[in-house]
Amino acid sequence: MMPFNSFRPRGPGFLIYYKKGLHEQAIAAFKQSVEKQPNTATFHYHLGLASTKAGQFTQARQALETALRLDPKGAEADEARATLTKLATFGS
């Protein structure tokens, strides 16, 4: 298991997509990262955030729940929980 705070992005990649509001591209990039490193909580966390921004709430919940399962005390865990709480008000 890789904790939230061990993540070190390399190159421009997916975080730039997310920060520029290109959520569909960010989702595709985060999914690739999750496939390559499924036990890295941060990848699931960022997939959850991008999915939330894109309105893909079911995918967002699944990704955030996985991130918390992998690293429930990580640096981004509180934000993941807060986002899940907000998502609880939306439908699937």
Q: Which residue has the tokens 């509180």?
A: 78
Of 31, 49, 46, which is closest to residue 87 (Cα–Cα)?
49
4/32 Cα distance (integer angstroms): 17
What integer pLDDT is reported at residue 4 of this predicted model?
39
pTM of the model: 0.80
67/38 Cα distance (integer angstroms): 10
pLDDT greater than 70 at residue 9: no
The ranges assigned to domains in the chain are 23-87
Give tens-digit pLDDT for 74-84. Answer: 889 999 999 99
Q: What is the dotted CATH code of the domain comprising 23-87?
A: 1.25.40.10
pLDDT grade for 5, boundaries at 50, 70 and 90: very low
What integer pLDDT is reported at residue 91 of this predicted model?
57
**Count of CA atoms in the C-beta half-sphere (13 A) of 87:** 25
Give tens-digit pLDDT for 48-91. Answer: 999 999 999 999 999 999 999 999 998 899 999 999 999 998 75
Of 13, 90, 11, which is closest to residue 54 (Cα–Cα)?
90
Tokens of 55: 């309105």
